[in-house]
């Protein structure tokens, strides 16, 4: 079942393909997501025919199939003359006039999730600059999908956790840990829509555990709450900085601001006051 929180991975794939097209000296860039053992080509920049559109590439078949099977980039300098591929898709590839082609698998947890292609209509291998750009795009997309997978995993844990009106202390602490980790995951993604949705999940979780926030609660920024959520787990400033990918001094600054807004003399008092106001679970 598709998560309501998770954006479509095709959007991230499309963004990376456009990024490669804008930065690499290559006329054709395309790709698609992998479902089970089949790659479906859906995203294109620079194509002039429709032969590749909607093409299903099976694992081990063609250049993309090799990339899926061996989980590493593969390329041919002259597609039509290559003896290293199966040529199952010659009609579409040759029809588009492609000669030099590179396929880069997007591998997450040792499983291919997408394949990115760069191609030219002339002989000779793709340049080093093009190869580095598409490899970088593949790494970025793998990181983004991994973040989304982890978000989905955490959200499923939340869905399974249906606390009663009086939540047991151990369950409450576990949900607080999930809340803090979700806030940390949000800082790792560049997808603003996903980050906003994660913040919404955190607010709902806080509401489940604390009820409605107090009307005169101080307004803490997202970063201040991120830091307090980590401090609430017993993290030091350095540990919070590592979890949130921030500098230790930056964490200290956000903590000071939160303590000031909460009129708290210590970090622990700040956490207690934030919970009292319904700002933290």
**Helix/strand/coil for 114:** strand
Range of the domain at 216: 161-276
Residue 168 has a pLDDT of 54
Count of helix runs (H) and strand runs (E) in the chain = 10, 6
CATH number at residue 133: 3.30.450.40
Residue 1 lies in a domain: no
Q: DSSP label at 180? A: H
Q: Which of 56-65, 102-111, 258-267 has the lowest mean pLDDT?
A: 258-267
Q: What is the pLDDT of residues 155-177, one digit of tens each?
A: 777 666 555 444 455 556 677 77
**CA–CA distance, 78 with 34 (Å, rounded to integer):** 25
- Residue 73 has a CB neighbour count (10 Å cut-off) of 17
Which residues, at least 6 apart from 16, have a Cβ–Cβ distance to it below 8 Å? 31, 116, 137, 138, 140, 141
Alpha carbon 188 to chain centroid distance?
8
Q: Tell me the pLDDT band of 203, cut-offs 50, 70 and 90.
A: confident
Measured CA to CA, the distance from residue 148 to residue 75 in angstroms comes to 29
pLDDT at 19 over 50: yes
Residue owning tokens 């920024």: 221
Spatial separation of the C-alpha atoms in residues 263 and 254, rounded to whole Å? 14
Please tell me the predicted confidence (pLDDT) of residue 118.
97
Q: Verify that 144 and 257 share a domain, yes or no.
A: no
* The dihedral sign for the CA sequence 232, 171, 189, 102: positive
Whether 29 contacts 20, CB under 8 Å: yes
Residues 271, 145 within the same domain: no
Tell whether 20 and 68 lie within a shared domain. Answer: yes
Are residue 84 and residue 211 in the same domain, yes or no? no
Angle, alpha carbons 66-69-70 (nearest 5°) = 85
Give the Cα separation of 129 and 23 in Å (integer): 9
Total domain count, the chain: 2
Q: Are residues 132 and 175 in the same domain?
A: no
Q: Which two tokens stand for residue 208?
A: 């489940």
Last residue within a domain, chosen from 149, 171, 205: 149
Q: Are 156 and 201 in contact (CB under 8 A)?
A: no
What CATH number is attached to the domain comprising 172? 1.10.10.10
160 vs 13, more confident: 13
Q: How confident is the model at residue 2 (pLDDT cuts 50, 70, 90)?
A: very low
Q: How many CA atoms lie less than 13 Å away from 89 in the CB half-sphere?
A: 26
Same domain, 36 and 102: yes
One domain for residues 58 and 104: yes
pTM over 0.75, yes/no = no
């Amino acid at each position: 079942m598709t998560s309501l929180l998770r954006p479509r991975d095709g959007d991230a794939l499309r963004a990376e393909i456009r990024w490669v097209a804008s930065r690499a000296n290559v006329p054709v860039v395309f790709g698609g997501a992998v479902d089970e053992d089949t790659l479906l080509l859906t995203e294109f920049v620079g194509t002039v025919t429709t032969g590749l559109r909607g093409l299903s590439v099976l694992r081990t078949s063609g250049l993309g199939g090799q990339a899926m099977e061996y989980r590493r980039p593969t390329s041919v300098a002259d597609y039509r003359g290559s003896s290293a591929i199966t040529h199952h898709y010659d009609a579409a590839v040759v029809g588009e006039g492609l000669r030099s082609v590179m396929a880069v698998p997007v591998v997450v947890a040792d499983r291919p999730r997408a394949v990115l292609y760069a191609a030219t209509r002339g002989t000779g291998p793709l340049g080093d600059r093009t190869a580095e750009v598409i490899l970088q795009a593949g790494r970025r997309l793998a990181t983004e999908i991994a973040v989304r997978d982890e978000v989905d995993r955490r959200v499923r844990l939340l869905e399974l956790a249906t606390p009663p009106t009086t939540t047991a202390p151990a369950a409450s602490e576990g949900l607080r840990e999930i809340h803090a980790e979700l806030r940390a995951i949000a800082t790792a993604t560049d997808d603003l829509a996903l980050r906003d949705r994660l913040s919404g999940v955190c607010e709902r979780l806080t509401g489940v555990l604390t009820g409605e926030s107090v009307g005169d609660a101080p307004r803490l920024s997202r970063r201040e709450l991120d830091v307090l959520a980590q401090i609430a787990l017993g993290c030091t400033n350095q540990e919070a900085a590592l979890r949130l990918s921030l500098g230790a001094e930056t964490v200290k600054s956000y903590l000071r601001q939160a303590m000031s807004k909460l009129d708290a003399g210590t970090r622990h008092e700040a956490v207690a006051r934030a919970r009292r106001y319904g700002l933290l679970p």
